[in-house]
A and B are shown apart, each in its own frame.
Chain A
Amino acid sequence: MRYPITIAAFLLAGMACHGAETTPDARAIVRAAVDHWRGVSSHSVMSMLIHRPDWERSMTMEAWTKGDEKSLVRVIEPKKDRGNGTLTDDNEMWTFSPKVNRVIKIPSSMMGQSWLGSDFSNKDVARADDIVDQYDHTLLETGDVDGITVYEVRSVPHEQAAVVWGREELRIRDDHVLLEHRFYDQDGELVKTLETLQIEEMGGRTIASRQRMAKADAPGEWTEIEVISVEYEIDIRDSVFTLSNLRNPRD
C-alpha cells in the first residue's frame, strides 16, 4: 500500500512544479475541503430530514463551530425537542436534554451510534477532521463536471487510527465543495454515502447546501441536511463551547 502513495506523492510533487493550481496533492485537497466547509469558525441554521420508508421526521438546528475541534449543535424545532443539543470538543461528545436537565458524556463505545436519531453517527459529527491527519490520501482521478475540475480522492486510514472504516472515497470540486463521500468497511463493502444534492452561494462561499447521507444496505432510509443560513469567519467566544452553555444557552 505504501508504494502507490509514494509514487503519487512523487508525481504530485513533480506536477506541483508545473502548476500548483491545477494539481494540488490529495491531502491538501481534503484539507481544503474540510476547512472550506467549516471555516475557521461558523454559525449556521440547518434543517435535518430523517426519512424512513414508513415515516419521516424533520428538525431545525442551530450550530456553531470553531477550529477543527469545537462544535455545538442545538435543536430549535420541533418544540418538544427544543433545547436538546450536543457539544463536541477534541473528539469527545456531550449531550444535553432539557427533559432531564442533565449533561451526559457519550462514552466512546457509543460514538458509532446514531447522532440525534439520524443516519449520521456521533463519530461523523465529532471526528469530521480525523480524515485529514489520520489517513493516507491518493488522488485517483481528475475529472470535469460542468466545466469545474473534480478530484476523486481515496483516503485510507493509518493502521493505528481509531477508525471503523476500511477506506473512504471523496469527490471534491476544484472550489473545495464536497460532492460525494463514500464510506467503505474493512472488507471494501460500501456502507454509506454522503451525497451533495444542491450547491449554493451562502455566507460568502459556494457550499454544499443540501446533503444526503444514505446507508447502502437500506434503500429508502436517508437523512438530509439543508443549510438555511450560515455565516463564516465570525468571532465566537470560547465560552460558547462549554458544558454550561450546552445546558443554559446564553445568547
Chain B
Amino acid sequence: MNLVLRLAWRNLWRQPRRTWLTTGAMVFANVLLVFMISLQFGMYRLMIENSLQAFTGHMQVQARGYIDDKKMRQSVPDIVPLANELREELGSGAVAARATAFALASSEERSYGIAVFGVEPQFEPRVSNIPGLIGEGRYLESNDAAELVIGAVLARNLKVGVGDEVTLLGSGRDGSFAAVVANVVGIFDSGVAELDRTIAEMPLGLFQDVFYMHGSGHQVVVNAPRLGQVAEYRQRVAALLPEDEDLVVHDWDALLPGLKQAIQADISSAVFMYAVLVVLVAFSVLNTQLMSVLERTHEFGIVLALGLKPGRLGRLVMLETALMGLMGLFIGALIGGALTGWLGVQGFTMPGMDEMGAKFNLPSRLHPQVTFASLLSGPAVVFLFSLLASVYPALRLRRLQPVEAMRAA
C-alpha cells in the first residue's frame, strides 16, 4: 500500500501543470462553496432570529385551534398568572403574555383596520424588538393607562403623532361593542412594513378591560436563550401547562410557516446551483484522469505483464485522484475559510441588499459566519464526487490486456 501511495504521489507530479489545473478547479469550487454556504446559512439564521425577535418570539402558548381560526374566544384563561408561573418555573424573564383583537383605528381624519395587542409593558421588551425600536416618544409603562404605541406607517396613515388621540373600535370577547380612546405615547419603526402598518400595542390590563377578556389573553410568548434550544424549551413549557385547559405550545416554524418555506425554497434553488458546480468539477476530474490513464496504457501494460494485479492499478488511479482531491479540499477550505472569515469581520454589501433587508428583516451589511459545517460540507462533497469521477478510468484498467496494452503507442 505504501508503495502504491508513493507511486500515486509521483505520478501526480509527472504532469505538474495538469495536476495543478485540476486541483485549481477544485480549489475554486471549494472556495466558492465555503463562501456561499457560510453566507447562506448565516443569512437564514439572521432571518429567523430577526423575524422572531421582532414580534413572534421562539414559541407561543395558545388555546388549541387558535393558530388556525384566530377567533377571539379561543383564549387562554388567567393569562397573567400563567405567564408569571412560566417565568418562575423556567427561571427566565423572556416570557410575556399578550391578547389581540381586530379593531378599527381612527384619528380625526382617517380610519384603518388594524391588529391591536395588549402586552405586559415590563416583560414585552424581553420577547420583542418593538419596545426597543420606539423612534418617537416612549414605550408603554403602566399596565392599565389608556396609552397606545403604534407603527410608523400607521401613524403616518392616520396622520397622528405622539400625544394625539386614537379611537379604537372593535368587538369584545363576548361579542359586545368594545371602544376606547387612547393617547399615542410612542411610535415604533421596525423597518418591517407589515408590522409598522398594522400593529398597535396597549397595556394588557387596559386591553382586558376594553375587550371584556376577564383576565384571559391569546398568547404567552416564550423565548429560549438560543434558537438551538427551542425544542428543549418547548417540551419544558408544555410540561408546565395546566392540564385542565386545552392549551398548546407552537414553535416558530408553526407560527411563521412562510419563513421556513422561504428558506426551504431558497435552499433548494441554491442546492441546484451547487450541484451544477460540483458536477462540472467532477467532469473535469474525469477528463483529467481518463487522459492520464489513456496515455499510460503502454506503461500499465508493462507493469501488468510483470505481474501487478489490475485491481491494484485501479487503486493507484483512485489514490491519485484522492490525493488531488485532498489537496483541493485543504487548500480550498483554507482560502475559502480565510476569505469568508475576513469578510465576516469586515462585512460587505451587495446592490439591492437594502430592499431585500427590509423584506426579510436583514441588516444591509452582511457578515457571513464560518462554521465547521459550512467550511467542510461543500469541499467534502466535491471530494466525494471527484473520487466518483475516477471510478470509470479505474474500472477501464481492469479490462486491460497486457500484450495489447504494450502494443499501444
A interface residue numbers (CB < 8 A to B): 50, 52, 54-55, 57, 75, 78, 80-81, 84, 95, 97, 99-100, 102, 104-107, 109-110, 113-114, 116-117
Contact = CB atoms under 8 A, between A and B. Distances in A.
Interface in B162-192: 167, 169, 171, 174-177, 179-181
B111 interface: yes
A117 B73 contact: no
Q: What 3 A-B pairs are tightest by C-beta distance, nearest first?
A: A97-B179, A99-B179, A57-B175
Contacts of A55: 73, 174-175
Contact of A104 (B111, B175, B180): B111
Most buried by A among B111, B112, B180: B111
Interface residues of B, number: 17
B111 A107 contact: yes
B104 A110 contact: yes
A99 B180 contact: yes
Contacts of A104: 104, 106, 111, 167, 169
B77 interface: no
Contacts of B111: 104-107, 110
B42 interface: no
Given A102-B106, A109-B113, A110-B113, A95 B169 contact: yes
A223 B56 CA distance: 34
29 contacts: A50-B175, A54-B73, A55-B73, A55-B174, A55-B175, A57-B174, A57-B175, A57-B176, A78-B176, A84-B177, A97-B169, A97-B177, A99-B179, A99-B180, A100-B169, A100-B180, A100-B181, A104-B104, A104-B167, A105-B106, A105-B111, A106-B104, A107-B104, A107-B113, A109-B113, A110-B104, A110-B113, A117-B171, A117-B177
B156 interface: no
A212 B121 CA distance: 43
Contact of B176 (A81, A95, A106, A110): A81
B359 interface: no
B87 to A, nearest CB: 30
Nearest to B168: A100
Contacts of B398: none
B176 A102 contact: no
Contacts of A95: 169
Nearest to A105: B111
Contacts of A116: 177
Interface string B112-140: 11000000000000000000000000000
B101 to A, nearest CB: 12
Q: Which of A95, A99, A100, A109 has the most CB of B within 10 A?
A: A100
B183 to A, nearest CB: 13
Contact of A100 (B112, B113, B167): B167
B159 interface: no
Nearest to A110: B113
A55 B181 CA distance: 28
Contacts of A78: 176
Contacts of A109: 112-113
Nearest to B107: A104
Contacts of A80: 176-177
Given A50-B175, A57-B175, A99-B179, 8 more contacts: A57-B174, A97-B169, A99-B177, A104-B104, A104-B111, A107-B110, A107-B113, A116-B177
